[in-house]
Amino acid sequence: MQKTLTKKEYQKYVDEKSPNSKLLRNMIRAFIVGGLICIVGQFITNLLKMRGLGQDETAGITSLLMILFGALLTGLNVYDDIGRFAGAGSIVPITGFANSIVSPAMEFKSEGYIMGVGAKMFVIAGPVLVYGISTSVIAGIIHFMLI
């Protein structure tokens, strides 16, 4: 009799069989690609600092450019190819944040420019802003009470 596995059992079976080295391999890939993306950021930062820009302007322009690169590479369908190799290495940097905006927006363009592009841009960016800003407000209130 053919043994049928439930989805859960199958997942367990796969987990047992897949060697731990797979995690290590993925971690190394994420480390290298993520590190390289940060080197690009550091290059922009160093360049702007050399031109005599202040700390805040440098940080602002660096994230602006990194977001632009992430959005463009997503539009050109390059970023997803990087992502298949890099995993978290391409998700965690701010270029991945731009990717998370452009990718669903492009995909749902057929639903129109308001509810398609306009709304789907925030499928992932929305939660990020909600939790990021809310945490900073709470931290700010606590900071106010402590100083």
Site for other proteins in 36-95 (CB under 8 A): 36-39, 41-46, 56, 59-64, 66-68, 71-72, 74-77, 80, 86-89, 91-95
* Cα angle value 18/23/25 (rounded, 5°): 110
Q: How far is the CB of 21 from other proteins (least distance, A)?
A: 12
Q: Is 147 in the site for other proteins (CB under 8 A)?
A: yes
Cβ proximity to other proteins: between 3 and 7 the closer is 7
Query: Which one of residues 32, 54, 111, 115 is an interface residue with other proteins (CB under 8 A)?
Result: 32
Q: How far is the CB of 51 from other proteins (least distance, A)?
A: 14
Cα(127)–Cα(109) distance, integer angstroms: 21
- How many residues bind other proteins (CB under 8 A)? The answer is 82
Cβ(65)–Cβ(44) below 8 Å: yes
User: What is the secondary structure of 51-72 as a DSSP string?
Assistant: TT--HHHHHHHHHHHHHHHHHH
Token pair belonging to 133: 């800003």
Cβ(121)–Cβ(101) below 8 Å: yes
Q: Is 22 in the site for other proteins (CB under 8 A)?
A: yes
